[in-house]
Amino acid sequence: MLSDDHASILFRMVLRLDEADVRKIAALARLELSDAEVELFTRQLGGILEYAEELRALDTSGVPPTSHPLDAGAVWRADEPAPSLDRDTVIDQAPAGSKRAGLFKVPKVL
């Protein structure tokens, strides 16, 4: 694990994000960016990293770790059985439905 000093140095190095870095990131993500988009994203990502550095610099030693700002607890509804749609009615109304097979075709997603 990096010490705080090493992490700070590494983070400051990342803050110097330039257009070449944005182009490398775009290539890794297989994104084609125009010159205007590269310029815009360079500014925006630089601003995000600067803000993250400000947050990282805050003293949070007395703040307990949290996963959510509100202590809402479990908010899931009870899993209770309920009547569903009539299978034959749904198959009759679906494209390429087959009562014999008990299913219907849908367009490919992937």
What are 12-62's pLDDT values in tens digits?
555 678 999 999 999 999 999 999 999 999 999 989 988 988 888 899 899
Report yes or no on 46 lying in a domain.
yes
- For residues 61 and 52, give the distance between their C-alpha atoms in angstroms, rounded to a whole number: 17
Partner residues linked to 4 by β-bridges: none
Report yes or no on 30 lying in a domain.
yes
**Domain residues for 26?**
4-57
Answer whether residue 100 shows pLDDT above 90.
Answer: no
CATH number at residue 46: 1.10.20
> What pTM does this model have?
0.47
As a residue count, the chain comes to 110
Closest CA to 42 of 73, 21, 27: 21
